[in-house]
Amino acid sequence: MRVLAALSGGVDSAIAAARAVDAGHDVVGVHMALSRTRDQFRNGSRGCCSIEDAGDARRAADVLGIPYYVWDLSEQFEQTVVTDFLAEYEAGRTPNPCVRCNEHIKFAALLDKAVALGFDAVCTGHYARIEVGPDGTRALHRARDAAKDQSYVLAVMGPERLARSMFPLGDVASKDETRAEAAARGLAVSAKPDSYDICFVADGDTQGFLRDRLGSREGDVVDTEGEVVGRHDGAYAYTVGQRRGLALGRPAPDGRPRYVLAVEPVRNRVVVGSREELAVGVVEADRAVWFVAPGADADAGAGAGAGAASGATPWSCTVQVRAHGTPVPATAVAGPDGTLRVEVDAAAGLHGVAPGQSVVLYDGTRVLGQATV
């Protein structure tokens, strides 16, 4: 197959491309330039898409002996990821930019361009597995290494895009194995730090980034009785479940920590309370994307993607609401127009679910579908 390997400049994408070459595919490497004002160097393990990263990607391609190109996708990234990120926070929601990037950049803009150029698939360094059933159905599963699993942020891609994707690192036992393989292949990125946090907030200061873009908007932090217990510089900078950085002027009556319970952008207020008040029994979501027809047995095959028909049959599964969150048992029912209702097992408990987050449904290791809270 003709395979386009997305080379970020890190060790994961380099080894994914190397394995695609070893498998006998005709591989071409491409680095996505996503930032309009890229820094010369990364800030340690924070950020990505620097000029340094582009250089590392080129050197990896040279070692692998594959052609290498840089594609400027910065305009699409700014419009679909950064602008959405700002708008979601301003509206009091908590977006996941990695989900948005996978949906609109890596498995939309990149994949669409690759297909238009005659490539059969896109290869990335994501830690997730693709299993092919006897009937040819492709299923998305968690990676073997649970600590590195990225199936949560990939769940938005849907079955059509999964059909043209390759994740060669899905069966890797640990990141140490990836680094050891890179060193053995003579790849200089073998010891390069992983990139954490939000790629376009290289210094890790998300609140500062939001304040720079949206401006300071002072307001009250209140308890559930409406009593003012602190002040903030912008309600948009807070998220449900947050504990740190509240700078409250008055402790709770019982002396226990307080958490953000709600963000009210119209009133410019942040509501705080106890951890117990963060408990969630039901999650309502929409814009569902399905890998398996809603309500069907996971062994029955793939669904029809985002347009799959609703299923009134309750669906036993586990759900996850954060990239590295703990999955909890639940019962899900798909509604009309891509809606989803999830009832969480009371004994398991789920806390601090924020509007804008992704809720991903699993059957064991298999991804069933995804929707936005």
Query: What phi and psi values does residue 3 have, to the nearest 5 degrees?
Result: -120, 130
**pLDDT of 268-281, one tens digit each?**
999 999 999 999 99
Residue that the structure tokens 């703990």 belong to? 326
Residue that is written with structure tokens 């939000």 in the block: 198
- CA angle 289/277/327 to nearest 5° reads 35
User: What phi and psi, each to the nearest 5 degrees, are found at residue 202?
Assistant: -65, -30
Q: Count Cβ atoms below 10 Å from residue 87 Cβ, excluding itself.
A: 13
Q: Using the structure block, give the residue that is written with the tokens 């309502």.
A: 284
pLDDT at 114: 94
Token pair, residue 311, equals 């299923």
Please compute, for residue 162, the number of CA atoms within 13 A of its CA located in the half-sphere on the CB side.
30
**Cβ atoms of residues 262 and 209 within 8 Å:** no
123 is catalytic: no
Catalytic residue, chosen from 48, 49, 199, 317, is: 199
The predicted pLDDT at position 301 comes to 47
Identify the helix (H) or strand (E) that includes residue 77. Answer: helix 74-77
Asked if 16 contacts 60 with a C-beta cutoff of 8 angstroms, the reply is no
Is 199 assigned a catalytic role?
A: yes
pLDDT at residue 5, rounded to an integer: 97
Give the model's pLDDT for residue 284: 96
Task: Give the other-Cβ count within 10 Å of 65's Cβ.
Answer: 8
The one catalytic residue in 48, 101, 123, 317 is 101
The domains located in the chain, with CATH, are 2-125+168-191 (3.40.50.620), 216-277 (2.30.30), 279-372 (2.40.30.10)
Closest CA to 287 of 339, 358, 336: 339
Q: How many Cα neighbours within 13 Å face the side chain of 12?
A: 21
Q: How far apart are CA 73 and CA 220, in angstroms?
A: 39
Give every residue of the chain whose pLDDT is below 50, as ranges: 40-42, 44-46, 301-309
pLDDT given for residue 74 in this prediction? 87
Q: Three-state secondary structure along 288-340?
A: EEECECCCCCHHHCECCHHHCCCCCCCEEEEEECCCCCCCEEEEEEECHHHCE
